[in-house]
């Protein structure tokens, strides 16, 4: 039975998605929203985390009448094992992405790469310096080789903790050591997690959960951090850049190519190749007025941050982009690329090209990305998309109008420059604004969309309310794209909605109140920014003392479980808009949501309503402010640049 539009309005907030859902219905295309309906009665055992199929004596499911699995494992063991495996999956995904980039950096350093190069030598020298690598009077390649080797050791180290942990505040490092939770090499943590959770090994839920936090720390401070750092060195540190978001970025008269997934190695080359005059001429010969390169998910965020390439949408829009009928090619790499894409594409003329050896998609065309000549590879793909332009069926094309201008590109460096000016780059003005209560605190809003929630709704309500209450919001991933689509990354719009104190600060330093900091791996940038704030002084000596909270409003991925876990283990409370699969064990749930507070100074909090989340966040921020003794009324006078210089802040 055909659905009426009101049913779609319950699923998405943005007009572009709404239009495409209606079109998908007319075109008889199954989308994630249809499949979510069919999967509605989800398994209660799975949801509560008490299903175990780790060995073939099972699967076992814990009930009142059968409180133990065949081997004797109880709900606590099973739930904790499942949680640890989720964290491990997320850690592996972020870290393998990073490893790929580190290996490219090594090739560049050895002169074995034709097209990749060190684009940002300043970031290379800075990053090498903080890892203790000698940089004076040394060539960029020599430094890059040392850094690449050091970062590769972060994966393989068997007995030494990660070197990247030393980038955290000292007090946090001491806490990790005291709790015996400092991770060794990333690969070792992942392998050990799989060993601990196999049948008949670790049965103590606390021991399992501590390894979950250890593994997650290997992600946040190790793998993800390396992913961000090396991307910046190879492709340039992001700086504020204008762009546009939502499906309206596609054009009826251009060849439209969408990149989707996570790794920037190929998409960077596509962003360069698309500017090649010969390729542009080829598109013109095919009758197109140009080529539109746009992105979905975090590949989008990577090339948005560095090139201002427009964002077609976030994770739940990947099929809807194809439903426009105007996409010649969707190039997918790794993570969040749904196996449904080829079936949707088959209704139109879109080619799905899978490019990663480790991520083949049934029904897609495998065109493995040639890293020896990546620019040529990218050029070939674009020409192939242009060749497909003639197959577009105009009668199937309907591109939504909705799109919004936005500003992204807020690396830690960029934020520092905005705050202190290029020559006095510093977090000091931000710390002062927090101390003076113009900014109440910092909230990182991260993660995905999930068809269990109306797409973008929670994220947008939460973001709007927080900036109204003078909270500076840091964003990554699909949550950042949600703000872009909602027009909230237009500096002028957000400044209009921000509370007085936040607005004054933003206007004085020329910074929007919502900062798009990048992709999923760039959550490491949020930790880095928070660490800079601690090190700047005046707000305590540990991350757990900062008035700062993380939120994953509409999360769905194992990666989000890893991210949440490394935030908590780093001392930052995390609010979840959707629950973990842990309710089958009171002990595990209590441990994650309460006892971690005593261990790490932070814990998880479930809050399924965005306005309740706002109240909870404000309470948490104010408690932190009380403890720091800075909860006084804001002074209204804001120092200008000259006054700030005179006051030496
Ligand atoms: Fe069942 Fe134990 Fe095997 Fe899990 S490990 S499937 S609980 S017998
Ligand atoms: S893409 S992991 S849906 S944020 Fe990074 Fe979006 Fe979540 Fe994928």
Q: Is 485 in the pocket of ligand 2 (CB under 6 A)?
A: no
CA of 353 to the centre of ligand 1 (A): 39
Mean of the pLDDT values across residues 421-433?
88
Please tell me whether residues 258 and 198 are part of one structural domain. Answer: no
DSSP string, 247-294: GGGS-TTSEEEEEEES-HHHHHHHHHHTT-HHHHHHHHHTT-S-EEEE
CA of 77 to the centre of ligand 1 (A): 10
Q: Is 520 in the pocket of ligand 2 (CB under 6 A)?
A: yes
CA of 215 to the centre of ligand 1 (A): 23
Confidence band, pLDDT 50/70/90 cuts, at residue 244: very high
Query: From its phi and psi, is residue 526 left (phi > 0), alpha (psi between -120 and 50) or beta?
Result: alpha
CA of 123 to the centre of ligand 2 (A): 26
Coil, strand or helix: which one is 577? coil
Please tell me whether residues 256 and 212 are part of one structural domain. Answer: no
Q: Which atom of ligand 2 is nearest to the CA of 479?
A: 4
CA of 45 to the centre of ligand 1 (A): 14
Whether residue 476 lies inside any domain: the answer is: yes
Q: Kind and range of the H or E element at 573?
A: strand 573-576
Q: Which atom of ligand 1 is nearest to the CA of 58?
A: 6
Please tell me whether residues 517 and 413 are part of one structural domain. Answer: yes
- What's the domain range around 190? 71-235
Q: Which atom of ligand 1 is nearest to the CA of 68?
A: 7
Q: How far apart are CA 97 and CA 146, in angstroms?
A: 20
Q: What is the per-residue pLDDT for 6?
A: 82
Mean of the pLDDT values across residues 92-117?
95
Q: How far is CA 337 from CA 90, 331, 334, 483, 500, in A?
A: 15, 10, 7, 21, 41
Q: How far apart are CA 346 and CA 478, in angstroms?
A: 26
Nearest to 345 by CA among 309, 385, 379: 385
Q: What is the pTM of this model?
A: 0.95
CB 543 within 8 A of CB 530: yes
Q: How far apart are CA 305 and CA 268, in angstroms?
A: 11
Whether residue 277 lies inside any domain: the answer is: yes
CB 432 within 8 A of CB 539: no
Please tell me whether residues 330 and 257 are part of one structural domain. Answer: yes
CA of 84 to the centre of ligand 1 (A): 16
CB 471 within 8 A of CB 443: yes
Q: How far apart are CA 44 and CA 50, in angstroms?
A: 9
Q: What is the per-residue pLDDT for 643?
A: 54
Please tell me whether residues 345 and 426 are part of one structural domain. Answer: no
Please name which ligand lies nearest the alpha carbon of 73. Answer: 1
Domain count, the chain: 3
The enclosing domain of 153 has a CATH number of: 1.20.1270.30
Q: Which atom of ligand 1 is nearest to the CA of 200?
A: 5
CA of 556 to the centre of ligand 1 (A): 26
Condensed to tens digits (0 to 9), the pLDDT of residues 608-644 reads: 999 999 999 999 999 999 999 998 765 555 555 555 5
Which tokens belong to 96? 């393998």
Beta-ladder partners of 197 = none
Coil, strand or helix: which one is 646? helix
DSSP string, 209-256: HHHHHHHHHIIIIIIHHHHHHHHHHHH-----EEEEESGGGS-TTSEE
CB 563 within 8 A of CB 523: yes
CA of 464 to the centre of ligand 1 (A): 46
CA of 72 to the centre of ligand 1 (A): 8
Whether residue 318 lies inside any domain: the answer is: yes
CB 251 within 8 A of CB 122: no
DSSP state of 153: H
Please tell me whether residues 444 and 571 are part of one structural domain. Answer: yes
Burial class (CB in 10 A: 0-12, 13-18, 19+), 134: exposed
Please name which ligand lies nearest the alpha carbon of 203. Answer: 1
Share the mean pLDDT of the chain. 95
Coil, strand or helix: which one is 313? strand
Whether residue 639 lies inside any domain: the answer is: no
Q: Is 313 in the pocket of ligand 2 (CB under 6 A)?
A: no
Please tell me whether residues 226 and 253 are part of one structural domain. Answer: no
Q: What is the per-residue pLDDT for 639?
A: 55
Res 2 pLDDT > 70: no
CB 261 within 8 A of CB 299: yes
Q: Which atom of ligand 1 is nearest to the CA of 199?
A: 5
Which of 396, 428, 462 is at the close of a domain?
A: 396
Q: Are strands 604-606 and 573-576 parallel, antiparallel or unpaired?
A: parallel
Whether residue 30 lies inside any domain: the answer is: no
Which tokens belong to 315? 């994770």
Give the CA radius of gyration of the chain. Answer: 24
Condensed to tens digits (0 to 9), the pLDDT of residues 440-495 reads: 999 999 999 999 999 999 999 999 999 999 999 999 999 999 999 999 998 887 78
Residue of 45, 56, 57, 85 to mutate, ligand 1, most atoms within 8 A of C-beta:
57
Q: How far apart are CA 503 and CA 484, in angstroms?
A: 19
Please tell me whether residues 102 and 222 are part of one structural domain. Answer: yes
Q: How far apart are CA 506 and CA 253, in angstroms?
A: 39
Please name which ligand lies nearest the alpha carbon of 446. Answer: 2
Q: Which atom of ligand 2 is nearest to the CA of 336?
A: 8
Nearest to 348 by CA among 329, 322, 366: 322
Whether residue 18 lies inside any domain: the answer is: no
Res 356 pLDDT > 50: yes
Query: From its phi and psi, is residue 367 left (phi > 0), alpha (psi between -120 and 50) or beta?
Result: beta
Residue nearest atom 2 of ligand 1, based on CA coordinates: 71
Which of 353, 377, 396 is at the close of a domain?
A: 396
Mean of the pLDDT values across residues 267-283?
96
Which tokens belong to 67? 């409180």
Residues within a 6 A CB radius of ligand 1: 52-55, 57-60, 69-71, 73, 78, 199
Query: From its phi and psi, is residue 281 left (phi > 0), alpha (psi between -120 and 50) or beta?
Result: alpha
Coil, strand or helix: which one is 157? coil
The enclosing domain of 323 has a CATH number of: 3.40.50.2030
Mean of the pLDDT values across residues 286-293?
98
Which of 346, 379, 396 is at the close of a domain?
A: 396
The lowest-confidence range among 6-15, 347-356, 471-480, 638-647 is: 638-647
Q: Which atom of ligand 2 is nearest to the CA of 314?
A: 6
Please tell me whether residues 222 and 251 are part of one structural domain. Answer: no
Please tell me whether residues 169 and 186 are part of one structural domain. Answer: yes
Please name which ligand lies nearest the alpha carbon of 200. Answer: 1
Condensed to tens digits (0 to 9), the pLDDT of residues 30-59 reads: 999 999 999 999 999 999 999 999 999 999
Q: Is 295 in the pocket of ligand 2 (CB under 6 A)?
A: no
CB 552 within 8 A of CB 476: no
Whether residue 8 lies inside any domain: the answer is: no
Burial class (CB in 10 A: 0-12, 13-18, 19+), 649: middle
Condensed to tens digits (0 to 9), the pLDDT of residues 138-148 reads: 999 999 999 99
Whether residue 27 lies inside any domain: the answer is: no
DSSP string, 77-113: HHHHHHHHHHHHHHHHHHHHHHHHHHHHHHHHHTT--
Please tell me whether residues 309 and 409 are part of one structural domain. Answer: no
Please tell me whether residues 530 and 546 are part of one structural domain. Answer: yes
Q: How far apart are CA 496 and CA 502, in angstroms?
A: 10
Name the phi and psi angles at 467, rounded to 5.
-70, -35
């Amino acid at each position: 039975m055909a659905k009426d539009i009101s049913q779609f309005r319950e699923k998405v907030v943005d007009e572009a998605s709404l239009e495409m859902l209606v079109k998908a219905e007319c075109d008889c295309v199954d989308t994630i929203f249809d499949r979510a309906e069919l999967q509605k009665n989800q398994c209660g055992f799975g949801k509560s985390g008490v299903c175990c199929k780790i060995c073939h004596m099972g699967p076992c499911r814990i009930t009142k009448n059968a409180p133990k699995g065949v081997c004797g494992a109880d709900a606590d063991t099973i739930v904790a094992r499942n949680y640890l495996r989720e964290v491990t999956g997320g850690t592996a995904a972020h870290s393998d992405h990073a490893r790929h980039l580190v290996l490219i950096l090594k090739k560049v350093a050895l002169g074995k790469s034709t097209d990749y190069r060190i684009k940002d030598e300043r970031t290379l020298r800075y990053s090498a310096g903080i890892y203790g690598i000698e940089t004076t009077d040394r060539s960029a390649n020599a430094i890059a080789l040392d850094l690449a080797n050091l970062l590769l050791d972060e994966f393989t180290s068997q007995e030494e903790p990660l070197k990247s942990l030393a980038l955290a505040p000292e007090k946090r490092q001491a806490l990790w050591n005291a709790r015996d939770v400092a991770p060794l090499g990333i690969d070792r943590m992942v392998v050990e997690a799989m060993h601990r959770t196999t049948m008949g090994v670790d049965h103590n839920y606390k021991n399992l959960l501590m390894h979950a936090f250890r593994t997650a720390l290997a992600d946040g401070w190790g793998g993800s951090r390396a992913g961000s750092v090396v991307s910046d060195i190879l492709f340039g540190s992001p700086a504020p850049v204008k762009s546009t978001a939502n499906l309206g970025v596609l054009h009826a008269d251009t060849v439209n190519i969408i990149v989707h997934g996570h790794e920037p190695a190929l998409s960077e080359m596509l962003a360069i190749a698309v500017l090649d005059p010969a390729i542009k001429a080829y598109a013109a010969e095919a009758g197109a007025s140009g080529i539109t390169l746009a992105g979905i998910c975090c590949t989008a965020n990577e090339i948005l941050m560095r090139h201002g390439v427009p964002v077609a949408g976030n994770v739940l829009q990947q099929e809807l982009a194809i439903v426009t009928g105007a996409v010649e090619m969707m190039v997918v790499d790794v993570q969040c690329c749904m196996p449904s894409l080829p079936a949707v594409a088959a209704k139109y003329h879109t080619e799905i090209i899978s490019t990663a050896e480790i991520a083949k998609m049934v029904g897609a065309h495998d065109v493995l990305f040639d890293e020896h000549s990546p620019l040529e590879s990218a050029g070939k793909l674009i020409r192939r998309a242009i060749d497909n332009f003639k197959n577009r069926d105009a009668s199937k094309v309907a591109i939504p109008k909705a799109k919004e201008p936005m500003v992204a590109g807020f690396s830690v460096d960029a934020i520092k420059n905005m705050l202190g000016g290029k020559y006095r780059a510093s977090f000091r003005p931000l710390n002062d604004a927090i101390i003076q209560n113009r900014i109440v605190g910092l909230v990182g809003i991260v993660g995905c969309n999930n068809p269990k929630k109306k797409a973008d709704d929670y994220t947008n309500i939460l973001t709007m309310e927080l900036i109204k209450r003078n909270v500076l919001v840091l964003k990554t991933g699909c949550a950042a794209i949600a703000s872009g689509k909602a027009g909230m990354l237009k500096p002028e719009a957000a400044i209009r909605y921000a509370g007085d104190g936040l607005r004054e600060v933003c206007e004085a330093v020329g910074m929007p109140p919502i900062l798009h900091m990048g992709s999923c791996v760039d959550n490491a940038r949020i930790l880095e920014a928070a660490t800079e704030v601690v090190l700047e002084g005046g707000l305590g000596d540990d991350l757990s003392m900062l008035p700062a909270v993380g939120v994953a409003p509409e999360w769905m991925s194992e990666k989000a479980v890893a991210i949440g876990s490394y935030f908590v283990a780093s001392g930052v409370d995390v609010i979840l808009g959707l629950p973990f699969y842990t309710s089958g064990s009171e002990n595990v749930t209590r441990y994650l949501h309460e006892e971690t507070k005593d261990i790490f100074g932070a814990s998880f909090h479930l809050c399924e309503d965005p306005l309740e989340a706002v109240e909870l966040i404000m309470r948490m921020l104010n408690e932190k402010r009380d403890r720091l003794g800075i909860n006084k009324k804001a002074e209204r006078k804001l120092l200008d640049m000259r006054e700030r210089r005179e006051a030496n802040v």
